[in-house]
Amino acid sequence: MSPTTPDRPPVFKHWRTWYWLVLGVLAIQILVYSWLTRLFL
Amino acid sequence: MNTLDWCILFGTLLSIVLYGTWKTRGNKNIDGYLKGDNSMRWWMMGVSIMATQASAITFLSTPGQAIEDGMRFLQFYFGLPIAMVIISITMVPIYYKLKVFTAYEYLESRFDLKTRLLAAILFLILRGLSAGITLFAPALVLSTILGWPTPFTTMLIGGFVIIYVTAGGTKAVSLTQRQQMAVIMGGMILAGILAYTMLPKQVSFTDTVKLAGSLGRMNIINTEFNLNDRYNIWSGLIAGTFLFLSYFGTDQSQVSRYLTGTSITESRLGLIFNGLLKIPMQFMILFIGVLVFVFYLFNQPPVFHNVVLKERAMQTPQGRQLQAYEQQYDVLYAEKRQSVDRLVEAIHHDDDAQVNVLKEEVKGLEARERVLRDSVRATIATAVPGAKVQDRDYIFLNFVLQHLPNGIIGLLLAVIFSAAMSSMAGELNALASTTTVDIYKRSLKAEASAKHYLRASQGFTVLWALLAMVFAMLATFAENLIQFVNIVGSLFYGTILGIFLTAFYLKRVQANAVFWAAIIAEGVVLFCYYSFREEIAFLLYNVIGCGVVIILSLIFQVFAKRTHSA
């Protein structure tokens, strides 16, 4: 652990963009799985 | 199994163990042994987090779960990405700021020593039991399939893990987990591809999914709110979030994985990596189960998947009865196969009316098959008293041994051993660090040299491994292993999470209030489990335990304040 290392996220400017990305991917997966369930039931 | 399989199996396992031991030898203190000198990059941590969670049970039970119950188990993981985000925002910065070895150290700085010890002891009970099950599941299945005694397979897996974890500590755990995950994912994907290629030529990929769907195996999402239902979207999103918050935020076996990072950024990325990939990985494992289910529509599966146990039962007076059941099963399967062929034809012709008629016909035959299988289980239970007659955990491995080519069999067995070793290694490392840091160093021997604590950590690693091996040899009670592990987790995690959430968010609550609230909450959870086991889905114990700790902490704190003021 190096306390001097700045906590800057890669790619995006803010960590919250990463968090919304994770939650967005979850939402998309739930939608896709719901669609698959209806399609093949 | 032939020579090629044995070479691949032992070649894979030995090379991983030797490489891990050699590459990470020479730890000089517990900082290196327990935190890997904070040298891990985010992707290494991400793989390590996934490998610790995915035990052999995941790869033995999950495909069987999909074959019997469909893909709805996937919903169990929907709370995981939410938990990853919450932990990245709240817990990771605090653990880094305090430079802790274990999550429970934080509780002493926030509350007091007794609360730290309570959480550490709850963790040791929970994780100690789970380590035994983590080892027991593959040891039992492999001993049955390979015809080796269970104590031998238990000691083989346990012995391999002791060698590299004791030598290299957390670095060895992370390093070997990378190779183990590569073997696991490669082997599983290959098994799925082979299961599909072995289907009849006229059955396309779309037909395969349609067949599985029409027979209820593509039941991924269930939006119905039902407290008794273990797997629906609501239990996954709400109770699952609580379970994964507890597991990843407060269980040292996971906290120790992301505390090995070079920086807080790396730890957050490691958790995000897990949040993005875990559900697709579980989907893949469940889907492999669905492919095996469709394979068994065209190829007759055994009436009882623990073939070795069935053969033992055949030698008893119940053997005749079992033979009669097998004959009935042959007739039933032939009938089902004809209906399945007609169902495929109806799917090809897009004849929805006929598809609906035929799928009900096949479902009816499946129901009769289930009744017959239950009779077979009951007969085997009578024939071999004390035998474990739940055969779900054998379905996938049996498929591998009976239908996959040589070479691949060795690789798939290496998958099961690797998964057992990777999760057990993570657990042992966490058990050793909690015992050393939270109990031994804090309460028993506060002043000693770095070398002394290193030796103590290595000693505790061996001790916990031996305890897990003894427990694994004694454990014969769990019907469905993956479920049992999750139930044990749910009984303790809620209380531990309640303590941590109170610490993070209820700044006014003091040590005594949360300590007694946690003791009562654990009592309430255990009482609910013994009294309302059928009424309450096990995931909800996480919510109950956590809720009781928070509410009682607040109430006790108000009373404590009044008493103090008076």
User: What ipTM goes with this model?
Assistant: 0.89
Query: CA nearest B38 in A: which residue?
Result: A1
Token pair, residue B367, equals 């129901």
Query: Can you give the pLDDT at residue B478?
Result: 52
Helices B205-214 and B319-348 pack at an angle, to 10 degrees, of 120
SS3 B332: helix
The secondary structure of residue B216, as a DSSP letter, is T
The radius of gyration computed from the CA coordinates of chain B, to the nearest angstrom, equals 25
- Which residue out of B49, B76, B85, B264 would a mutagenesis test of the A interface target, given it has the greatest number of A Cβ atoms within 10 Å? B85
B209 touching chain A per CB within 8 A: yes
pLDDT of amino acid B139: 83
Give the residue from chain A lying closest to B275, CA to CA: A22
- Please check whether residue B197 touches A, CB under 8 A: no
**Cα separation of B95 and B523, whole Å?**
29
How far does A2 lie from chain B, in Å, by closest CA?
A: 6
| Beta strand extents in B225-270 (DSSP E only) | none
Nearest chain A residue to B264, by CA: A7
Q: Are B383 and B316 in contact (CB under 8 A)?
A: yes
A13 close contact with B: CB closer than 8 A? no
Asked whether the CA dihedral B246, B247, B248, B249 is positive or negative, the reply is positive
* pTM metric for this prediction: 0.85
**Nearest CA among B207, B254, B223 for reference residue B45:** B254
**Structure tokens, B202:** 């006229």
The ranges of chain B with pLDDT < 50 are none
Name residues whose C-beta falls within 8 Å of residue B193's C-beta, 6 or more positions apart in sequence: none
> How far is Cα B288 from Cα B58, in angstroms, rounded to an integer?
12
Q: How far is CA B358 from the centre of its chain?
A: 37
Closest by alpha carbon to B412, among B160, B191, B171, B105? B191
Pick from B91, B101, B79: which is nearest to B505 by CA? Answer: B91
Which 3 state secondary structure label does DSSP give B477? Answer: coil
Say which residue the tokens 């009562």 belong to: B520
Q: What's the pLDDT band for A2 if we cut at 50, 70, 90?
A: very low
Which residue among A7, A18, A37 sits closest to B263, beta carbon to beta carbon?
A7
Phi, psi of B149 (to 5 degrees): -65, 145
How big is the CA angle at B393 (ends B391 and B398), to the nearest 5 degrees? 80
Distance from CA of B275 to the nearest CA of A (A): 6
Dihedral angle of Cα B412, B415, B420, B422, to the nearest 10 degrees: 170
How far apart CA A29 and CA A31 sit, in angstroms, is 5
Mutate to test the interface with B, among A18, A23, A26 (most CBs of B within 10 A): A26
Q: For residues B293 and B286, is the Cβ–Cβ distance under 8 A?
A: no
Hey, is the C-beta of B355 within 8 angstroms of any chain A C-beta?
Answer: no
Distance CA B309, CA B389 (A): 8
CB of B212 closer than 8 Å to CB of B218: yes
Tell me, what's the pLDDT at B116?
92
Cβ–Cβ below 8 Å for B82 and A23 = yes
A29 interaction partners in chain B (CB closer than 8 Å)? 279-280
| pLDDT attached to residue B433 | 86
Q: Which has the closest alpha carbon to B171: B65, B260, B66?
A: B260
Q: Choose the closest CB to B268 out of A15, A25, A26.
A: A15
Which of the residues B208, B232, B263 would you substitute to probe the A interface, choosing the one with the greatest number of A C-beta atoms within 10 Å?
Answer: B263
CA distance A29 to chain B (A): 9
Contact A29 B280 (CB under 8 A): yes
- Nearest chain A CA: its distance from B499 CA (Å): 25
Cα–Cα distance measured from residue B326 to residue B316, given in angstroms and rounded to the nearest whole number: 16
B272 vs A: CB within 8 A: yes
Distance, in Å, from the CA atom of B434 to the CA atom of B448, rounded to the nearest integer, reads 17
CB contact under 8 A, A40 and B272: no
* In contact, B416 and B57? CB cutoff 8 Å: no
How many Cα atoms within 13 Å fall on the side-chain side of residue B340? Answer: 26
Identify the burial level of B284 via C-beta atoms within 10 angstroms of its C-beta, where 0-12 means exposed, 13-18 middle and 19 or more buried: middle
Cβ(B395)–Cβ(B305) below 8 Å? yes
Q: Which residues of A touch B269 (CB under 8 A)?
A: 9-10, 18
User: How far off is chain A from B235, nearest CA to CA, in Å?
Assistant: 14
Residue B256 near chain A (CB below 8 Å):
no
Q: Which residues in chain A are closer than 8 Å to B96, comparing Cβ atoms?
A: 1
Q: Which of A5, A21, A36 sits opposite B263 (nearest CB)?
A: A5
The pLDDT value recorded for residue A12 is 87
* Sign for the pseudo-dihedral over CA of B173, B176, B180, B181: positive
B279 vs A29: CB contact, 8 Å cut-off?
yes
